[in-house]
């Protein structure tokens, strides 16, 4: 039975349909609101706005639940490979053995990049941030791979190319930034092994592939693979809504992810922990500063728009961080600072009242450091993990029969009409 909510204004009533999701989430469909009443809705930061119907990821911020295509992220992190999770997100179901093999072959076949791309990397200023470079280079890929004959063929090949080549490009940019020889992808290595090998193998010293490092990267990427309508995914959907090519849409997602309030937080956490240490290791002082409304400082890696309890990804990341450092016999003083900071913050009345808990970025930087990833590459690693989510969300939006260009409205608060005055008369 259709359900409605009644909106009463100026003595009139209109009925607005209710929409219920498969997990019982409720929305009011306001698509006829302006036409019927002249009103629009105002919702800064879209905190109460559902921008689409989606069957990809479910999250419940109050209960700390995250599922991809219905499967709890905890189960995927425990049992799945990153490649299989990518297939699941993009195709909506787990692959059988043949499908997974075919997918692996396609990724391997597309993993090389055009050697002309090297010149672009070499001409970037040495101090350019890898996220800026990645965003530009993904956009540049379109120039190297122009349109194919059919739209369906183009979409499928472009998705595979992005998944295969962006990983190669990220490692390549790191090698070039250090002035080292590029290492090519190898078909005998898994998706995660290949990335580590391209990052760290060299003609003078073969990279020693450690099981713990490969597993940490696998879990890190699975945990980052999708997170429904977050800032960067919304950027991909919004830019994609203008029917721009997929490379350009993903490039905009990478740019959005770069921000320290979003994916850039993993780098910002390490910088914050280092500053706390350099300042004498006073975690109490950092928590006090974060509470002070006159101080712009925030605890990076804390708080989330949707999670009002412990981020389920952060729980897995924290456990993995402890296990990884122990099994690799690494002591990282930043981990001690992070633990102390978390303990103080979780007991602090301000953090308790504001439901501020560690998010995925709080411990992820320490994991990445342990496997040798340099700090300025952290957000690039996030982008590689989020790529399948962006692609799946873009594809869902382009397949939507009700697809429309994204075009919010506003409430204008500027000057009312007044006449132009020539410069000599002002
Ligand atoms: N430290 C101190 N106070 C905080 C923090 C924090 N990390 N996060 C939120 N608050 C406070 C705000 O000051 C605000 O207080 P008030 O209501 O008394 O004014 C309240 O909590 C709500 O904060 P908002 O900024 O309105 O919450 P919003 O949902 O818009 O922002 C965000 C969420 C951006 C993640 C925020 O918590 C934050 O800045 N965190 C630090 C950056 C970070 O870790 N980002 C990564 C997020 S996860 C990801 O994108 C992968």
> Widest CA span of the chain, in angstroms?
80
Whether 22 is covered by a domain: the verdict is yes
Compute CA distances 221 → 88, 191, 371, whole Å.
Answer: 14, 11, 14
Decide whether any atom of ligand 1 lies within 6 Å of the 69 Cβ: no
Decide whether any atom of ligand 1 lies within 6 Å of the 366 Cβ: no
pLDDT at 362: 95
Whether 116 is covered by a domain: the verdict is no
Whether 219 is covered by a domain: the verdict is no
Name the residue with the closest Cα to ligand 1, atom 29: 305
Bridge partners, residue 14, by sequence: 7
pLDDT at 365: 94
CATH number, domain at 21? 2.20.28.60
**Distance (Å) from CA 305 to ligand 1 centroid:** 7
Whether 47 is covered by a domain: the verdict is yes
Name the residue with the closest Cα to ligand 1, atom 19: 293
Q: Is the pTM of this model over 0.85?
A: yes
pLDDT at 172: 93
Whether 18 is covered by a domain: the verdict is yes
Q: And the tokens for 16? A: 């607005």
Calpha distance 113→167 (Å, rounded)? 10
pLDDT at 107: 96
Whether 335 is covered by a domain: the verdict is no
Whether 11 is covered by a domain: the verdict is yes
Whether 243 is covered by a domain: the verdict is no
pLDDT at 358: 95
Residue positions annotated with a catalytic role: 304, 361
Decide whether any atom of ligand 1 lies within 6 Å of the 339 Cβ: no
Q: Give the domain range for residue 33.
A: 4-60
Q: How many helices (H) and strands (E) does the chain have?
A: 18, 6
The strands making up 57-60's β-sheet, listed across from edge to edge, are 57-60, 65-68, 71-72
Calpha distance 103→126 (Å, rounded)? 36
Stretches where the chain sits below pLDDT 70 are 1, 148-150
pLDDT at 149: 61
**Distance (Å) from CA 61 to ligand 1 centroid:** 14
Using a 10 angstrom Cβ sphere, with 0-12 exposed, 13-18 middle and 19 or more buried, the burial of residue 116 is: exposed
Per the CB < 8 A criterion, the answer to whether 272 and 265 are in contact is no
The structural domain count of the chain equals 1
Decide whether any atom of ligand 1 lies within 6 Å of the 356 Cβ: yes
pLDDT at 1: 59
């Amino acid at each position: 039975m259709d359900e409605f909510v009644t909106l009463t204004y100026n003595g009139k009533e209109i009925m607005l349909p209710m929409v219920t999701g498969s997990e019982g989430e409720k929305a009011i469909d306001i698509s006829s609101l302006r036409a019927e009443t002249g009103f629009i809705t105002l919702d800064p930061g879209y905190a109460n706005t559902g921008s689409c119907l989606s069957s990809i990821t479910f999250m419940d911020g109050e209960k700390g639940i995250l599922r991809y295509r219905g499967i709890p992220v905890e189960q995927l992190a425990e049992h799945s490979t990153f490649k299989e999770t990518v297939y699941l997100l993009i195709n909506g179901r787990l692959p059988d053995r043949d499908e997974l093999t075919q997918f692996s072959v396609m990724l391997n076949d597309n993993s090389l990049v055009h050697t002309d791309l090297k010149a672009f990397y070499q001409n970037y200023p040495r101090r350019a941030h890898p996220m800026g470079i990645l965003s530009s280079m993904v956009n540049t890929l379109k120039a190297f791979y122009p349109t194919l004959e059919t739209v369906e063929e183009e979409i499928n090949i472009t998705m595979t190319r992005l998944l295969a080549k962006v990983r190669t490009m990220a490692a390549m940019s790191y090698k070039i930034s250090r002035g080292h020889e590029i290492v090519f992808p190898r078909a005998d290595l898994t998706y995660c092994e290949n990335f580590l090998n391209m990052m760290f193998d060299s003609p003078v010293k073969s990279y020693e592939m450690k099981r713990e490092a490969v597993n940490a990267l696998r879990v890190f990427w699975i945990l980052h693979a999708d997170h429904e309508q977050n800032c960067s995914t919304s950027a991909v959907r919004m830019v994609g809504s203008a029917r721009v090519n997929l490379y350009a849409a993903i490039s905009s997602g990478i740019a959005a992810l770069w921000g320290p309030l979003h994916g850039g937080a993993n780098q910002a956490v390490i910088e914050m922990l280092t500053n706390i240490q350099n300042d004498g290791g006073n975690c109490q002082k950092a928590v006090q500063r974060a509470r002070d409304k006159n101080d712009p400082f925030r605890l990076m890696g804390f708080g989330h728009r949707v999670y009002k309890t412990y981020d389920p990804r952060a729980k897995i990341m924290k456990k993995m961080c402890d296990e990884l450092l122990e099994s690799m016999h690494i002591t990282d003083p930043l981990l001690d600072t992070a633990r102390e900071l978390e303990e103080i913050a979780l007991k602090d009345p301000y953090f308790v009242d504001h439901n501020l808990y560690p998010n995925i970025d709080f411990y992820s930087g320490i994991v990445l450091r342990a496997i040798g990833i340099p700090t300025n590459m952290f957000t690039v690693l996030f982008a590689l993990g989020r790529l399948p989510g962006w692609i799946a969300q873009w594809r869902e939006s382009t397949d939507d029969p009700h697809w429309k260009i994204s075009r919010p409205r506003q409430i204008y608060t500027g000057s009312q009409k007044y006449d132009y005055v020539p410069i000599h008369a002002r």
